[in-house]
Each structure stands twice: as C-alpha cells, then as structure tokens.
Amino acid sequence: MSRNFTALIGGVRFASRREGDYSRAMGLGAARQTVLVAGAAGFLGSHLVDRLLAEGYEVVGLDNLMTGDLVNLANAARDPHFHFQAGDVRDPLHVYAQIVFNFACPASPVHYQHDPYAAFTTSVMGAQRLIELARGRNSCRIIHASTSEVYGDPTVHPQPETYWGNVNPVGERSCYDEGKRGAETLLSDAGRVWGLDVRLVRIFNTYGPRMAFNDGRVVSNFIVQALEGRPVTLFGEGKQTRSFCFVDDLIEGFMRVSRLEKLDGPMNLGNPGEFTIAELANHVVELTKSGSKIEYRPLPADDPKQRRPDITKAQRLIHFQPKIDLRQGLQRTIDNFRERLAQRASA
Ligand code: UDP
C-alpha cells in the first residue's frame, strides 16, 4: 500500500489485528455494540460509519483502499470509537463484532472493469470470509450490500425481489453482476445450512456527497463536467432510465434492516423516482448554472435500458420511504463537489 494514511488523516486509530472485543479493549464496558464495516473508506461505507458512530456504536472499519479513500473517514478518525483496519475482505477476518456490514467491492463500472478479477473475487471470497467469521466464535449478524445489477438488463419493470434477472454471464459487467449474484447465493446457503443471520440488501443507484470525482458514474461525471464547464457526456441517446437514491435515505434503510428481528430473502432499497439520463443531465446543468453542452458518446456494452426498484417489501417491513427528491439531493451533492473541487484546486 502506497499511502501513508496516518499522515493523511492524522489520528486514525488502527485496530488491533488480534481478535478481541473492542469495547473491552477500549475499557468501555459491554454497553456499546461493536460493528464491522467492510469497505468503510468507500462512498457508502463511510456514510454508514458516520451514522453508526452518531448512534453510539463501536465501529471497526476495514478497507484495502483499492477504490476507497481515507479522506472519507476524516470525521470518523476524530471519534475514539472508530478503529481502522487496513485489510482485504478476501483475507481471513480477525475482528470481534456483533454486526457486520459488507460494502467491500469496487462498485462503479470504471473501477470494476479496471480489475474484474478483484471485483468478482471480492464479492464471492468476501462473502466466504464473512461466513467463516459468523460460523466461528463470533456469531454475528451479516448485512450484505448487494445490488440492482443482479437484475441485469431487466425484462420486468419495476424490479421486485422475486424477479430473477437477465444477466450476461460473460460480458463486461459480469464480474460485478455475477460476483454479487454469487455472493447472494453463498450467503443464502449459509443462512439455510448453518442458520446464520444473513440479510441481503439490493442497492439501486445511490448518489451524494463524497462520491469519487473519477468513479465514472453518471452523477459524479455530470457534476464534475458541469462545474468545470466541460461538455456533459451522454451515453447513447440518454433514453435509458435509472432511479437515483440520495445517500442519507439509503443509509437510513440499512439501519432499519439491521434492527429488524429477521429478514427472509433479499430486500430492494432505492428511490423509485425514475428519470432518463438525458433528464438527469438537464437537471445537473440547470442546478450548477453551467454553460455545458451535451456531448453524445456510444452506449457501453450491456448497459441496462431501464431500472426502478419495487420497494413494496421495504415499505412493508421497515417502513422505508426516501425523503430527498432528485433535485434536492443533486443540490446537496453539487455543493459538496464544488467545495471539494475548490479544495483540490487550492491544494
Ligand atoms: N452514463 C452516461 N454518461 C456518463 C456516465 C454514465 O450517460 O458519463 C450513463 C450510463 O451509460 C448508464 C447510466 O448513465 O446508462 C448510469 O451509469 P452509472 O455508471 O452511473 O451506473 P449503472 O450503469 O451501473 O447503473
């Protein structure tokens, strides 16, 4: 690992690699539940870490920093109840935790296609390691971040959890889609065979502050392009649709899933508001007050034509209801990007 992360976000505590109860290790008694977040330095993982700390958990964050960034943990690093472990979820896990959230996996097409082997193995071997952890002395609840990509290019719209999907097993997106499907299989079997408490959450497109500038995702691309006055790159004719969920709404959903008595089968989490990518481009250009023009580029292979979550199950079981609409969420995200771009320029 090339980074000197102690220097980068001075004061980050490194978790001991020995097995042990962090609450006890810190002399805090047994009151706080310990939670492991795998993929803690990523966009979603770091937002979850902040929320867990705010709610009084002892949090161990694991990340190999392949796509994550310790800057995302700058707030967490100031909290004595946060402990960072530099490590890979594919390696044996030496942590004691009552609850494990697994967000470890490169999640944007640019990142996972850069190293498809890592994307696939992180999903599947990561699931295996979590199962080993839960089957050992550390019987923990596993909340696994799966994805709407398990539905592929869906022929059923919107997508309920009962839909089995339409996925190309050998295409450019397969390392991610099939990796996540494989992880769901492995974890579901672990629930059936060994009775492990496994909860699968299928995340639909989520956006918000802290998204990486260079992750190639549509929201981050459009915002950076618009703020820098460059053309906004629209793939295909921009008629494909996505449903965009603001990060705080998604994290709220995860917290509720973690508190459920039990969860059978996967659960979709996302915002059912559906927009064409051309509509998204217009919103971003308008909200940034940018003079950017639209530049059309070829549609990538296997790009799903439409996507919208059926959230009936989440509404029924956890009363999930996203609160932030697209324009509100985009405005908050744009403000955050503007600030970070200014910091980068002055660094
Ligand atoms: N997209 C686009 N311009 C970009 C990046 C993405 O038009 O600069 C399109 C992409 O082809 C897809 C949609 O936006 O149809 C969402 O892409 P993203 O990579 O954010 O998410 P995913 O395809 O994984 O849902």
CA of 265 to the centre of ligand 1 (A): 28
Whether residue 83 is contained in a domain is answered as: no
CA-219 nearest atom, ligand 1: 20
Whether residue 288 is contained in a domain is answered as: no
Residue 37's H or E segment, with its range, is: strand 34-38
Q: From the CB of 303, is ligand 1 less than 6 Å away?
A: yes
Whether residue 138 is contained in a domain is answered as: yes
Mean pLDDT value across the chain:
92
Q: In total, how many domains does the chain have? A: 1
Q: pLDDT band at residue 30, thresholds of 50, 70 and 90?
A: low
Whether residue 37 is contained in a domain is answered as: no
SS3 168: coil
Res 36 pLDDT > 70: yes
The two tokens of residue 268 are 């979709």
Phi then psi for residue 70, to 5 deg, are -65, -20
- pLDDT tens digits, residue range 167-205? 999 999 999 999 999 999 999 999 999 999 999 999 999
Give me the domain span that covers residue 196. 105-205+246-270+306-323
Whether residue 211 is contained in a domain is answered as: no
Q: From the CB of 195, is ligand 1 less than 6 Å away?
A: no
Whether residue 32 is contained in a domain is answered as: no
Tell me the average pLDDT across 53-66.
97
Residue 283 confidence (pLDDT): 98
Residue 32 confidence (pLDDT): 87
Nearest CA residue ID for atom 4, ligand 1:
218
CA-307 nearest atom, ligand 1: 25
Whether residue 91 is contained in a domain is answered as: no
- pLDDT tens digits, residue range 321-344? 999 999 999 999 999 999 999 999
Strand order across the 198-203 sheet: 82-86, 58-63, 34-38, 99-102, 141-147, 198-203, 267-269
pTM of the shown model: 0.93
Q: pLDDT band at residue 8, thresholds of 50, 70 and 90?
A: very low
CA of 90 to the centre of ligand 1 (A): 28
- pLDDT tens digits, residue range 258-303? 999 999 999 999 999 999 999 999 999 999 999 999 999 999 999 9
The two tokens of residue 333 are 């995200």
Domain harbouring 196, CATH code: 3.40.50.720
Whether residue 187 is contained in a domain is answered as: yes
Question: For residue 224, which of 240, 239, 212, 242 has the smallest C-alpha distance?
Answer: 212
In the chain, what is the greatest distance between 2 CA atoms, to the nearest angstrom? 59
Give CA 273 to chain center in angstroms. 19
Question: For residue 311, which of 236, 275, 257 has the smallest C-alpha distance?
Answer: 257
